[in-house]
């Protein structure tokens, strides 16, 4: 084995949920020793966080039958599942055809789901309501998809074609998201560029994304189906495919031995005995997408296992929960007023600590309910759950519900 090959293998080891969890645990251990630059950690506050998570979970899901945290939840408005209402009326040739369409929708919708900012709203044509943040982005992307905004076939709007994405004009997203000078959306150009990158990549990799159709994001369904063993697919296999096959679409960040590392950042306190020392993988959007691909695979007849093999999501609602409820405390209170780059040590610490703390909150919530990880997987704790509790805590403390920490987003991380 040549040194270059060894380094490349080390780089690829960071493209996994196992690496995210291991580095997050290392960050928490450093924090518990009191050796982090920006945060202290107070685990005595964790019971209060678990109680807050349980309270919102019981309100949203009184029977405690909690679905997975996935994009599909955001397509439900006032108890009506907008996507199911559409999909159930379509004469799909088979279950795989529906799954490809659902992969198309989930992938594009998740890639468009970075933070919208506190100002932007989407006017829902069905209810007339103005919907912001992730829910508004979801409805906008669903409406664009259902109206054929990403399809090259006028007779079949429910698809996303690579050639359409590759040439996607900015004004199509601007119109779809109802963006105006008075209704600005953070990172609009970054979102459009990400979809164009996706389109070009799909065209380049027809061996993955065009096994049974023209190049489309939904081709990833066929790629994953081929990896199933006896109809079984482990959730970490989904993430591995997402990171491997979609990794090249991300804007240039860190790379190691020519391997793009995606949502991965530097922190000098993180140790390793190889070339990955100082690197902190988080893969937030890729894991959010992986969670969102589980249900289409299940509907297509596959058994998805090891769902807790994925990690919690390192984003501002989950992370904000721990800051607002006092588990994480800034060493310098003035940092709450400053804006921080995504690659800053403060943000890297915050996000990694969030991942490790979410595992511990899941354990406490299960203990309080007498459930195990099969009955209440981490994906359900997130949905029940930590994300909603983080939002509730934010609105209790700030009228606009903003994150307790200000992060400069390019539309492709948060």
pLDDT by 10s per residue, the chain, length 414: 455 689 999 999 999 999 999 999 999 999 999 999 999 999 999 999 999 999 999 999 999 999 999 999 999 999 999 999 999 999 999 999 999 999 999 999 999 987 777 799 999 999 999 999 889 999 999 999 999 999 999 999 999 999 999 999 999 999 999 999 999 998 889 899 999 999 999 999 999 999 999 999 999 999 999 999 999 999 999 999 999 999 888 876 799 998 889 899 999 999 999 999 999 999 998 999 999 999 999 999 999 999 999 999 999 999 999 999 999 999 999 999 999 999 999 999 999 999 999 999 999 999 999 999 999 999 999 999 999 999 999 999 999 888 999 998 765 665
What is the C-alpha to C-alpha distance for residues 233 and 226, in angstroms, rounded to an integer? 10
- Residue 414 has, within 13 A of its CA and on its CB side, a CA count of 28
Its pTM surpasses 0.85: yes
Contact 96, 216 (CB under 8 A): no
Instruction: Pull the structure tokens for residue 202.
Output: 């799909």
Structure letter (DSSP) for residue 268: T
Contact 280, 14 (CB under 8 A): no
Cβ neighbors of 48 (< 8 A, separation 6 or more) are 325, 326
Q: Give the model confidence (pLDDT) of 168-204 as tens digits.
A: 999 999 999 999 999 999 888 989 999 999 999 999 9
Tell me the DSSP string of 287-309. Answer: HHHHHHHHHHHHHTT-EEE-GGG
What is the C-alpha to C-alpha distance for residues 73 and 77, in angstroms, rounded to an integer? 9
Contact 271, 353 (CB under 8 A): no
What is the C-alpha to C-alpha distance for residues 96 and 102, in angstroms, rounded to an integer? 10
What is the C-alpha to C-alpha distance for residues 77 and 65, in angstroms, rounded to an integer? 18
């Amino acid at each position: 084995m040549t040194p270059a090959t060894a380094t490349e293998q080390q780089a690829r080891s960071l493209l996994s949920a196992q690496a995210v969890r291991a580095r997050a645990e290392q960050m928490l251990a450093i924090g518990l020793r009191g050796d982090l630059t920006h945060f202290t950690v107070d685990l005595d506050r964790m019971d209060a966080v678990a109680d807050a998570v349980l309270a919102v979970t019981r309100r949203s899901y009184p029977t405690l039958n909690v679905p997975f945290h996935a994009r599909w939840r955001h397509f439900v408005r006032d108890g009506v599942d907008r996507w199911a209402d559409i999909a159930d009326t379509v004469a799909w040739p088979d279950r795989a055809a529906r799954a490809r369409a659902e992969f198309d929708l989930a992938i594009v919708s998740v890639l468009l789901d970075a933070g919208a900012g506190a100002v932007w709203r989407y006017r829902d044509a069905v209810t007339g309501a103005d919907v912001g943040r992730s829910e508004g982005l979801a409805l906008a992307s669903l409406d664009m998809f259902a109206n054929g905004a990403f399809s090259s076939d006028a007779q079949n709007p429910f698809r996303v074609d690579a050639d359409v994405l590759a040439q996607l004009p900015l004004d199509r997203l601007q119109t779809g998201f109802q963006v105006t000078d008075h209704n600005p959306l953070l990172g609009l150009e970054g979102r459009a560029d990400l979809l164009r990158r996706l389109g070009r990549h799909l065209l380049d990799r027809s061996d993955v994304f065009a096994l049974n159709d023209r190049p489309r994001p939904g081709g990833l369904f066929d790629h994953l189906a081929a990896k199933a063993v006896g109809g079984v697919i482990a959730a970490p296999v989904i993430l591995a495919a997402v990171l491997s096959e979609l990794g090249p679409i991300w804007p240039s960040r860190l790379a190691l031995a020519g391997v793009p590392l995606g949502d991965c950042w530097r922190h000098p306190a993180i140790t390793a005995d190889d070339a990955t020392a100082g690197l902190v993988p988080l893969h937030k959007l890729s894991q959010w997408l992986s969670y969102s691909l589980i249900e289409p695979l299940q509907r297509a007849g596959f058994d998805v296992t090891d769902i807790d093999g994925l990690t919690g999501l390192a984003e501002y609602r989950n992370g904000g929960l721990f800051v607002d409820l006092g588990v994480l405390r800034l060493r310098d209170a003035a940092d709450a007023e400053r804006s921080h780059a995504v690659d800053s040590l403060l943000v890297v610490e915050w996000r990694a600590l969030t991942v490790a703390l979410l595992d511990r909150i899941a354990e406490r919530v299960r203990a309080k309910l007498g459930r195990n990880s099969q009955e209440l997987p981490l994906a359900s704790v997130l949905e029940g759950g930590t994300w909603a509790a983080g939002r509730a805590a934010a609105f209790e403390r700030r009228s606009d519900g903003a994150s307790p920490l200000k992060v400069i987003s390019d539309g492709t991380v948060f």
